[in-house]
Structure 1
Amino acid sequence: MTVPKYDDIEVGLELPERIEPITRADLVRYAGASGDFNIIHWNERVAKDVGLPTVIAHGMLTMARGGRVLTDWVGDPGRVVEYGVRFAGPVPVPDDDAGAEVVFRAKVASKLDDRRVRVDLEARCGEEKVLSMARAVVQLD
């Protein structure tokens, strides 16, 4: 993939939308890889006991899936020089084969020095915002 050229990018450019399914199997794989076995990510009874609608996706898993918007666009994960989010709401993951669907949208918010741009991301599960203040700095050619 070709890295976007800084001079060709305009503020307001929308990156391609990305729809990410998250299933219970994804939660198991993420827990194993990350070591995060918090019970609210796998035990529906406990999740409901603490006020959640069902088990929820790991926040860092949701954040990582949003990062794919950036890496798909820029073609090289090493060009994402900063990336941070605040978690605005949970991603409830139903006990079915479809799971949850998180929709990620992003746009270039500003052009910075040294051929870098700031990209703002939005993440929603249904009508609910699940990430806020999701921002990245990406190095372009």
Structure 2
Amino acid sequence: MTNELLDLATQAGRALQSKQLMLATAESCTGGGVAQAVTEVAGSTGWFDCGFVVYSNVSKTELLDVSAALIAQHGTVSEEVAAAMAVGALANSSADVAISTTGIAGPTGAVPGKPVGTVCFGWARGETVRTERLVFQGDRQSVREQTVRHALQGLLRFIE
């Protein structure tokens, strides 16, 4: 883990703790990378509830209540599914705020309109949900690391 990611996770933890918020993660393309980053921080039990690693569409549906129809309509890598994953993480945990990631880390998996490096993010708290879609450059590891970084940066903006 890079120092930059650890610093970001530490900042996120401080921000969550100061607002007395618990975090949950719902991750596909990052494979638990966001949860790993935040649990590198000593004391994260005070602000991290749980993480869902949901690679398959079935797991997204069964664990996070993401509707199969939504996945069929918009595709797994979509802001709509990212939003549903974040909302589902809140509904299926004791957390107050959630981060979700779904994307194509590569080197395969690209589809028309969604090149390798396409990642959709969701951040949810109460009734508020924010999503974003970015396309990162680089190899699989680089895309995943950039995704974790952006998810944490987005969390900091979202809870401020």
Q: Same fold (TM over 0.5)?
A: no
Which is strand-richer, 1 or 2? 1
Larger CA Rg, structure 1 vs 2: 1
Q: With structure 2 as the length reference, what TM-score do the two structures score?
A: 0.30
Which is helix-richer, 1 or 2? 2
Q: With structure 1 as the length reference, what TM-score do the two structures score?
A: 0.32
